[in-house]
Amino acid sequence: MKKAFLFLGFVAVAAAVGGATAWAVSEHREQPVQYIERTVSHNSAPQAGNHFTSYQADQYPDLTYAAENAVKAVVNIESIQQIEMPRRRSYDPFLEFFGIPQDYGYGDGRPQYREQRAGGSGVIISEDGYIVTNNHVIDGATKLRVKLNDGRIFDGKLIGKDSATDLALLKIEAKDLPTLAFGSSDALRLGEWVLAIGSPFDLQSTITAGIVSAKARQLGAIPNDFRIESFIQTDAAVNPGNSGGALVNTRGELVGINTLIKSQTGSYVGYSFAVPESIVRKVVVDLKEFGVVQRAMLGIQFRVVDQDFLDEEGKELGIDELGGAYVASVVEGGSASEAGIRKGDVIVSVDGVKITDPSTLQLEIARHRPNDTVKLSVKRDGKVKQFDVTLRNKAGKTELIAKTDVDVVESLGGKFVDAGTKLCRELEIKGGVQVVGIKAGGVLARARVKEGFVITHINDQPVYSLEDLQRMTESVRSIDGIYPNGRSASYVLVE
């Protein structure tokens, strides 16, 4: 079976443990949590044979400097949500007459709420109180409480968030705070020592150590169809509650934000993943300056030319060399299309950076804003050509996005796929986007749209594909479409 192109994937998210927030890519969630004991030797003298070189302490990293300084800038975040309680039945004399038990309703008829609390971590990046964390730590919160390393507690204000990278920016009203300076995730080397700092299981200021196990990992874990993933993989122990905490190098510099774990149990068993500093820095600057991420879009779907690609499609497409990104489709009116990029081209590099995996191309474009220009080296008909591409926003324009503009895909709160040719023919429509999942709290859930619904218009504008949906920036006022059984439906939102 052919590999899926970029933007497709499946994800399972493990639930928070003990009231703490974290994500886990869970493969077998039905298995019980396994606790593993670790034996620690208190004999520090190396027991090596004479074929080893002598132990020289000054040649090995001392992690105490990084730990003792970085921990001061890592905070605990308590996310509080108001959850509406199910409404009970009001008193019914008919039921009372026949002796049928009943619950009594609320006297004033108003809904009742309860508080749901979850915990995560964050990193202070400026002395005046800006804090970066994960989007999933604060998503849906009605109140945020930030506890500093010194014990002080502040109310947190959400400045902005970005579900595509799972990052968010908060602000507390304080001065002269300890901060973490940004390091360089690009400069990280495999095997380099790193520290993970956060509040696992509500144990604030916990420090664990490990090495960089891999870079530029794509897991398909962020629940956003347009996710940007290039995770740093480490073996530093990360557990629920570490989300949003710091990954630091031996110099105490921030090189990543700890985000998720890969586990069969929902708890750490050897792998953890962090959003790299190269993505964090860009998102934070945008959120602070504009309140929204200025995302540049290349406007293509692609597949990296690896050995599987060559084995499956290389001969048919006339491609026999590894490396680069095969352009499977080009969005009409998008950045690549306007620059002359065509389906069948192979993008070899972006600004001189060779494309070796999907995350490389994503990351290089994600560094930029709309109206920035990048230089693509493209192989076409056996020859390499250079293209200067002016990047555009999701609406296909070169202007920066305003905070008032809406991410329609996110506000709808669902998962979507293009309605296939067969379905469109059966329903006698030109095109559409089918709802294959619905998230609580989104427009679809509030409008009581059912899965399977094919959206054909939003705000009376036609929607033929996911690209059309992605380009929309106005608040959703109306949704029109048709169910697979042929029943048309219109939904009008009343605020």
Query: Which of these is catalytic: 162, 166, 286, 468?
Result: 166
Q: What does residue 360 show for φ and ψ, rounded to 5 degrees?
A: -65, -50
Task: Count the Cβ atoms, other than its own, within 10 Å of residue 147.
Answer: 18
> What residues contact 54, with CB distance under 8 A and at least 6 apart?
none
> What is the C-alpha to C-alpha distance for residues 22 and 200, in angstroms, rounded to an integer?
9
> What is the C-alpha to C-alpha distance for residues 200 and 350, in angstroms, rounded to an integer?
39
- DSSP secondary-structure letter at 58? G
How many C-alpha atoms does 121 have within 13 Å on its Cβ side? 36
Residue identified by tokens 């060559």 is 310
Range list of H helices, 61-205: 64-70, 93-97, 135-138
Task: Determine contact, residues 326/361, Cβ cutoff 8 Å.
Answer: no
Cα torsion 428, 431, 436, 438 to 10°: value is -110
To 5 degrees, how large is the angle CA 251–CA 241–CA 146?
80
> What is the C-alpha to C-alpha distance for residues 472 and 474, in angstroms, rounded to an integer?
6
Residue 41 bears catalytic tag: no
> What is the C-alpha to C-alpha distance for residues 204 and 255, in angstroms, rounded to an integer?
20
Query: Which of these is catalytic: 213, 230, 243, 349?
Result: 243
- CA 71 vs. chain centroid, Å, equals 24
Residue 311 bears catalytic tag: no
SS3 326: strand
Task: Count the Cβ atoms, other than its own, within 10 Å of residue 82.
Answer: 13
Query: Which of these is catalytic: 26, 136, 185, 418?
Result: 136
Please give the full DSSP string across 281-313, using - where no structure is assigned.
HHHHHHHHHHSS----B--EEEEE--HHHIIII
To 5 degrees, how large is the angle CA 371–CA 375–CA 380?
125
Residue numbers annotated as active site: 136, 166, 243
